[in-house]
Amino acid sequence: MIINGKLNNKRLSSKALEENIQAAVHNGSHSLEIKAQGQHGIGGRLWPGDDKINIKVSGPVGQRLGAMGMQGTEIVVNGSASDDVGWLNCGATITVLGDVTNGAHNAGAQGILYVQGGGGARCDTMTKNN
C-alpha cells in the first residue's frame, strides 16, 4: 500500500501521516511504501503483534524515523534521514541507505540500525547494548 505525504498537492502534517499509517496497519496492511515530505516519526509506534510490518520510505524524512519502533517492524529508507533515527528503539530493524544526522539510535533498548553512509554526533549513545 502506498501512503503519500501529500494530499491535493499540500504536505500532510506529521500527525495526519501517522494516523494514515496507523489506520493502514490496523486494517491489515503489512507492506507500506511511504512517500515522505519531511514528516516526523514515520514508522514508529506501530504494534505488529505476531505479524511483521515492512515499510519503505522515500523522499525527505523528518526527525525520529522509527522512534519507539517495535519488534516485527522493518523500515528501509531510500536516502538519508534526519535527527534521532530509531530513538528509543524497542526492537525495530531500521536500514538507512544514506547518511543519518545527530542522535541516531539514541537510547535504543533493542532493535538494529544499519546505516550505509555516515552519522552525526551522539549516534548509538545510551543504548542497552552498543
DSSP secondary structure string, 46-65? ---TTS-EEEEEES---S-T
Ramachandran region, residue 68 (left: φ > 0; alpha: ψ -120 to 50; beta: rest)? left
Which amino acid, one-letter code, is at 73? T
Tell me the average pLDDT of the chain: 93
Q: What is the pLDDT of residues 46-94, one digit of tens each?
A: 988 889 999 999 999 999 999 999 999 999 999 999 999 999 999 999 9
Q: How far is CA 30 from CA 19, 74, 87, 123, in A?
A: 15, 10, 22, 29
* Domain map (residue ranges) of the chain: 2-115
DSSP 105: T
Closest CA to 62 of 10, 17, 1: 17
Whether residue 130 has pLDDT greater than 70: no
Give the pLDDT score at 116. Answer: 95
Give the pLDDT score at 121. Answer: 85
Distance between CA atoms of residues 120 and 112, nearest Å: 17
